[in-house]
Amino acid sequence: MKAYVFPGQGSQFPGMGKELYENNPAAKALFEQANTILGFRITDTMFNGTEEELKQTKVTQPAIFLHSVVLASTLSNFKPDMVAGHSLGEFSALVANKTLSFEDALVLVSKRALAMQKACEMNPSTMAAILNLDDKVVEAICAEISKEGNVVVAANYNCPGQLVISGSTEGISIACEKLKAAGAKRALVLPVGGAFHSPLMEPARVELEAAINATKFSEPVCPVYQNVNARAVSSPEEIKRNLVAQLTAPVRWTQTMEQMIADGASTFTEVGPGKVLQGLVKKVNKDIEALSA
């Protein structure tokens, strides 16, 4: 069975999508439609902007979504048996399986980016990658720090031996020291301006919930494996609930890949900028075929 996976924030790069725009008239039309919907020429930043300009939240999330969805639209014989997306990538996956229209998903992604940016500005917070330490140990230390008054939680279960934590700036600093002392190979604070997939995103979750509930979700053509529960979902109402919960809940990517493989996925194709997800697939199961679109 063919699985298609879509990347999240951090996979952007200067010049992303330019070749598609210049060489494919249908792709160009979608890019121009996005410029109109967003009310600014996001393509100018995607094609000619610097890394710093691409890091602006109002640009980053719509840019990655746009690159992924436009690329998927150009693939011949694009018939996924199952889809999944890492964090933001879940919106790309929901366009790929026809749960959401391109236009509605782009509007939601833009609202999500702005709501998350606002939530980040309300609390000094960040994330850190913890390498080569058992998940249970990381979870226990995070829980211990949180009890002492600093928010720190497991945020991204990326692959065996790579877990990203999220929380207050002070909490993450304390956690990194304790996790290194507990045997982590590395505890690396990431260059992000907020605690994504943590309780500190609650204001953004509330804002996005209203927008999602006002948007039409259709019956998908294939299941989406969602970040929140790492299992196949086909009910539009359940997809909505999981998409709302995703902002404050962890991304269970390791568990998602394992479940997709257990359910028969034999080939994973990453659709979008970068090659991060296919690397993670290989770390979950080195025998599975993982490709770039």
- The active-site residue, picked from 73, 87, 166, 168, is 87
198 is catalytic: no
Pairing mode of beta strands 2-6, 267-270: parallel
Burial class (CB in 10 A: 0-12, 13-18, 19+), 170: middle
Pairing mode of beta strands 289-292, 267-270: parallel
82 near 260, Cβ under 8 Å?
Answer: yes
Tokens of 129: 């990658």
Residue 240 CB neighbour total at 10 angstroms:
16
The Cα 269–Cα 192 span in angstroms is: 27
**Taking Cα atoms as reference points, which of 131, 134, 126 lies closest to residue 150?**
126
Tokens of 73: 């639209």
Length of the chain: 293
Contacts of 120 (CB under 8 A, 6+ apart): 57, 193, 194, 195
- The active-site residue, picked from 92, 110, 166, 197, is 197
Contacts of 200 (CB under 8 A, 6+ apart): 119, 122, 123, 125, 151, 166, 167, 168, 194
Contacts of 29 (CB under 8 A, 6+ apart): none
The angle at the Cα of 115, spanning 191 to 159, to the nearest 5 degrees, equals 45
Annotated catalytic sites, by residue?
A: 87, 197
